[in-house]
Structures are given as structure tokens and as C-alpha cells.
Amino acid sequence: MLSKVLVANRGEIAVRIIRTCAEAGVASVAVYSEADEKALHVRLADEAVLLGAASASESYLAIDKIIEAAKSTGAQAVHPGYGFLAENAAFAKAVEDAGLIFIGPPSSAIEVMGSKIAARDLAAKADVPQVPGSQGTIASVADVIAFGDEHGYPVAIKATYGGGGRGMRMVASAADAESAFASAKQESAAAFGRDDVYLERYLSSARHVEVQVFADTHGSAVWIGDRDCSVQRRHQKLIEEAPAPGLSDGLRRAMGEASVRLAQQVGYVGAGTVEFLVEADREAFYFLEMNTRIQVEHPVTEMTLGLDLVAEQLAVAAGEPLSITESGAVPRGHAIEVRVNAEDTRGALFMPSPGPIATVQAPTRAGVRWDGGYESGDEVQPYYDSLVGKLIVWAPTRDRALDRLTLALDELIIDGVPTTVPAARQIIAHKDFRNVAMHTNWLERDIDFASLLPPVEDLSDTDAEDTEEMLPRNEVWVGDRRYVIPFFTPTGPAAAPPVAEPQARRAATGGPRKKRGGGAAASGEAKSPMQGTVAQIDVEVGAQVEAGQVLMVLEAMKMQNPIRAAVTGVVESLHVEVGQVVAAGASLASVVAAGE
């Protein structure tokens, strides 16, 4: 077994790995940014090394700094977790070249599976079914239109080196091709450093099912269960469950065997996940991508099969053979996971909402597990993703698991920041989800999700004079309507005393609710609805704009949020520049209304 492991990540997954290391008697080394100096993963690790400033590029994405941290602390191996550098072939190669063990597949496997085009070619060699797609990277809008004419619409434009929905755009018709092509390339470049994109036929009502695979250095490769991840918003998973419900034994086995063939074809080692689009009624499945890392949703597989996948990763990295000797073990019961993010779900806007957490208190009932990255008194930073933790339940049947999850969501206490718990409650109570009638577009296309959640105030129904006396507010656009989201300043109504700082390895405690601050928004003034970074500016001073037109894009917690003009008029001033970090409520631009 390994003696010391550096965990090249933060938040929930870093905490998960560090705790497993402690159980296995393996010393752990945390790395952190200046913003994460007091973070839970830093407090739990045996050692911790500061990497740099809050920006991920200066800390969690700084390969040279992470390698040096591993060497200076005497770590034998590096665990990348998920996100950040977990699927970066150059990072895995740097770890290997430094004489360290990368807890994951060989860099060569990451390189191949990281290119969606190369992955498709490999899947074809392994006889894995695929959705019709372009032959390589596309170069122009004309390629999109030609593909749509041949295979039909809708068409998906996808980032060649991407994943998680970043750089992906759906093209409903030839008329949408130009804007979707430009947008996909731009987001791909921003997220992955390359703007290469390719095409696939878009299956609008398929389910998203993934298969967990594991391989060791002794030639063994197995598939150990599947998961359904169909409930998604903006291509981001919200709820996952195992086993995937409603699949025949034959379909389940065929996907598992195809996954093993793919893993063997690429020379895989460690934990990986092969993702498919599934049309269960047709007994059909199509290769989507392979994630060359541990998945966010791995706990549902652990709970239905009695495994510790992170411990298995450590053992395989140390050269031990797999403890799982056969594929397709029959799962015991049913497990469901809810991702709990620091986001405001009012009006189904899912606005990123970083800030201090007063209280985190997980349910204590049987069959419930909480994998969290924060304790009471910690702060959700605006520089990284918004995941606070994962609530996982197990029960003998899916119906029992859903009932238990309903109670657990009611018992989970996270005070200080809004979370996605209200959205999760509505999803699991919906008859479509209960009846396994969901698919990847279900949440955003087939139901009026906003009507199931608390609303935000519709400014178009409010008298202009009345708004002058309103509380400070954020203004956002959804479709063609403008909404306001009230908030409170630290010195205004409902101000809260400071949240106590957390202590190392202490239990969660209660605390007062603290609401986030900001300032009032003028009718022609665009203000930041959250803390974030200006990713792009789409207008110049003096430009004529229409109400609802995008002025700029703000990136927060890995989400791109368009900032739109509230009125028709002329851009009078721009108060920010690309790359600038802005606070919630900060003035971004001023538009003088037409006629003023």
C-alpha cells in the first residue's frame, strides 16, 4: 500500500479522498489556494501546501506547483479527484515523469479518451455502438448545415476536448447554425484552451446511463454496475441513481460488456466511467464519452455493491490486483444521490450564490450518507464550482429510497446560502421521475420547472415608481422578461452577526443566517448578480442596444451568465474589463434609455 498521497483537488472530493486515506493508514497532503486557507480539506489532511492565489490557474491548475508540492512532502502518489486536472493528460504525464504514481489511468489513455474524435474512433474499433457523427473536427458553419441536411435536426455541436456540457450547443435548424457554432467554439476555447468542435446527431429524448469500469495492472478489467444521470440542467447532472431503473437485463449486460471492451482497447487502469445515451424502449444504446476519473456520483455504486471505490483506486495504484474479480455483480437495493449546490433556485434560475455557511447539519437516519466539503462556519468561494455536498440514500427498493430521500432532504440543514434542495424536492416528487419517464431534456423542455419553485419578482408587473423604494436587488433576464431578486445589505434589514470560524475536525454547529449584500440597481444600470469574473464584453461605449441584449458574460462557479441590457438605449459607460473579478452588486455598465 502507498504511504503518502497528495490530493490535487479541493472541496467534497478532496475531503472524501483524505478520509479514505486516513482509514487505510495512508498519510495525506492537501494543496490549497489563498482563498481556501481555512477550507475543510486543509484542516483534515496530515499536511497542506499553499499553491498560490485564488485563481485556479495559479493554484489548482498549476501543474509545476503541484508536482513540486508532492516532491517536497515526500508523497509517492497524486490523486486528482474529479474536475481541475483530473482528465488532463499533460498533468498525468508530468506526474509519471516526476517518478510519482498517478492514481488514475495512464496518460496515454487520458489523451485518447480526452479527444472526443479519437474516442469515437476507438469505440468503433471496440465495436461500441455510436450516434452518427462528423468525421473529425469541423471547420465552418457550412459543415453544420451539411451534416444536418444529411442526418436531420437537431444536431449537437460538441467540444472535441471537452466534457460536462461545456462547449456544447444544440442546433434545431439551419437558421441556428451560425450562432451556435460561434458560441460553442468560444465556450470550448474558454473552458479547455482549444476551440475544436465536432458534430453528433442530437437524441432529444434519450436517457443518460453510465457504466462503472475498473481495471488493474495485472490484466483484469470489469464492469461493476450502472447509474442513471438523466436529470440534468444545462448538461449538468442534478440527481443520479443506481442501478439505472427500467433497463432489461440484456441491455444492462450489453452496455457493461461494451464498456469493458473499450477499457481494454485503450489500455485502461483504475476507475473509469463509460457514458451512453439510451433508448430503453428500443433496447438501444450509443457511446457518449469515457470519463477517465472517479465520478461525482460514485457513492450510489458503492452503496448498492458494498464497495469503497476510492480505496480500490489506492490499492490498484499501489500495484495490487482488483478485489472485484467478476463483472456484473447484482446490486443490492437502490441508491439515489442529490447534488446540493450553493445556488438560488427561485424561478428555476439556479443563480450561483457563494458566501459563508452558518450551519451544515446532515440527517442521521439509517441509510443516509452525506459527502460534504464544508462544515458550519466555512465559506463557499466564488472562484470554484458550487457543490456543497452530496446527499445519498439507500433502501431495499427505488420507491423506498425516494421516500427516504424526501425525509432526508427535509432534515438536511444548510443555513447561510441558498441551495438546490428545493429543486431536488420537486424533482423526486414529480410523477415522471417516479415513473422513470425522465430523459436528458425532461427538466428543461417537458415540464414547467419554474412553476414548481418559488418565484422571483417580475419587474414588468411592478410600477416603476414603486421600485424606487424596493429593497436592493439583482436584475436578471429569463426569456423575454426581466426579474428582480431582492437581497439585503450587511447593514440593512435582517443583517446577521459574523459567522464563527470553523475549528479543525469539529462537529457541525448551528448559527445565524447571513444574507448576502449588494446595492440597488438603476433602470439603465447593469449590476452583477453574483461575484464572478468578466469573461467577455459584447458591446462598446456608444453602441445602440435593445432591452434584453447581451452586454457581457460573467463567469461564476464554472457557469457562464449573460448580463443583459434592462432598457433600450445607448451604452453610456463600461465599468469593467475582461478578466476583472467583480463583487455581487458591482456596477458593470450604464445604458441611457432611448428618449432620455
User: Other C-beta atoms within 10 Å of 596: how many?
Assistant: 11
Strand partners, 337: 240, 392
Most trustworthy range by pLDDT among 152-166, 339-353, 559-573 = 339-353
Residues 269 and 352 placed together within one structural domain of the fold: yes
CATH classification at residue 192: 3.30.1490.20
Residues 360 and 373 placed together within one structural domain of the fold: yes
pTM, 2 dp: 0.79
Residues 189 and 215 placed together within one structural domain of the fold: no
Question: Residue range 496-521: average pLDDT?
Answer: 39
Farthest-apart Cα atoms in the chain, separation: 75
CA distance 559 to 385: 8
Residues 302 and 400 placed together within one structural domain of the fold: yes
Residues 430 and 329 placed together within one structural domain of the fold: yes
Give residue 269's pLDDT: 98
- Which grid cell sits at 596? 432620455
What is the crossing angle of helices 89-97 and 107-114, to 10°? 170
> One-letter amino acid identity for 561?
N
Residues 568 and 462 placed together within one structural domain of the fold: yes
Contact 18, 7 (CB under 8 A): yes
> What's the total number of domains in the chain?
4
CATH classification at residue 83: 3.40.50.20
Pairing assessment for the beta strands 77-79 and 4-7 based on DSSP bridges: parallel
- Which grid cell sits at 558? 464554472
Host domain of residue 172: 132-201
CA distance 269 to 299: 20
Tens of pLDDT, residue by residue over 43-69, are 999 999 999 999 899 999 999 999 999
Cα four-point dihedral sign 241, 247, 253, 257 = negative
Give residue 482's pLDDT: 42
Q: What single string gives the DSSP state of each residue in 279-307? A: EGGGTEEEEEEEE-S--TTHHHHHHHHT-
Residues 249 and 388 placed together within one structural domain of the fold: yes
Last residue of a domain, one of 179, 201, 223: 201
Question: Residue range 250-266: average pLDDT?
Answer: 98
Contact 518, 503 (CB under 8 A): no
pLDDT band at 165 (very low <50, low <70, confident <90, very high): confident
Residues 250 and 330 placed together within one structural domain of the fold: yes
Give residue 132's pLDDT: 84
Cα four-point dihedral sign 258, 262, 267, 271 = negative
Contact 91, 67 (CB under 8 A): no
Tens of pLDDT, residue by residue over 173-220, are 999 999 999 989 988 887 788 899 999 988 888 999 999 999 999 999
The percentage of residues in the chain with a pLDDT greater than 90, rounded to a whole number, is 72
Residue for grid cell 477499457: 263
Residues 480 and 434 placed together within one structural domain of the fold: no
Is 532 a domain residue?
A: yes
Is 506 a domain residue?
A: no
| Residues with Cβ within 8 Å of residue 538, at least 6 apart in sequence | 550, 551, 552, 553
> If you average pLDDT over every residue of the chain, what do you get?
88
Tens of pLDDT, residue by residue over 336-393, are 999 999 999 999 989 889 999 999 999 999 999 999 999 999 999 988 999 999 999 9
Nearest to 258 by CA among 116, 130, 113: 130
